[in-house]
Amino acid sequence: MAVDCVPRIRSVGHVIFSNPSEYAIRALSELVLMAQDAPTNGRRPGFVMLDKLTDQAGLPREFLAKIFRQLVEGGLLTSAKGPGGGFALAKPAHEINLLDVITVVDGGHQIDGCVVGLARCNDSVPCPQHDLFKPIRQRLRAYLSTTTLADTAASLKEKKALNIKDTAIEAGNKPD
């Protein structure tokens, strides 16, 4: 069962980040956990098959395959075909931050985009909301650049454990 642990930091119209970025963060968090927990069984350590990942994360396969191609091209993932293949992080999870992921998937421009949708909005030519949202963007960028896939995977693991306990309590069973 997929558990959504990635904070939904979105604004109206996906000004902050897109569905592809959200899916990438969710899937990469799941990949980190699956790679940690999976027995190798002749597989390369750290590699997870896309089908298993889409089943676990509850994400559409074709859409995720496209996103993962971008992440491979962007140097965040590595892929291998054939037996023992799949996808694996190209670097340790604690070295990949959320801003890295969003930049590869969306180009990073959405975080800095104008909140009212103007094509040209900056300190020199500000929109009416520019000065209000500038510190918010700065804090968001700081959060995204310091939050890693190791952090989101740990959060996912914790939420899954809580979900299992909640399910057991609802069923009348005592959790361990």
pLDDT of residue 147 exceeding 80, the answer is: yes
Residue 157 and residue 93 in contact, taking contact as beta carbons nearer than 8 Å: no
Residue 38 and residue 133 in contact, taking contact as beta carbons nearer than 8 Å: no
3, two tokens: 């558990």
The correct answer on CATH 3.30.590.20 for the domain covering 12-163 is no
Q: How far is CA 74 from CA 68, 97, 102, 129, in A?
A: 9, 13, 11, 32
Confidence grade of residue 1 (pLDDT, cut at 50, 70, 90): very low
Confidence grade of residue 65 (pLDDT, cut at 50, 70, 90): very high
Q: How far is CA 86 from CA 46, 94, 97, in A?
A: 9, 21, 22
Taking the complete model, does pTM exceed 0.75, yes or no?
yes
Q: What is the pLDDT of residue 15?
A: 46
138, two tokens: 């700065």
| Domains in the chain: boundaries | 12-163
Residue with tokens 């897109």: 18
Q: What is the pLDDT of residue 103?
A: 95
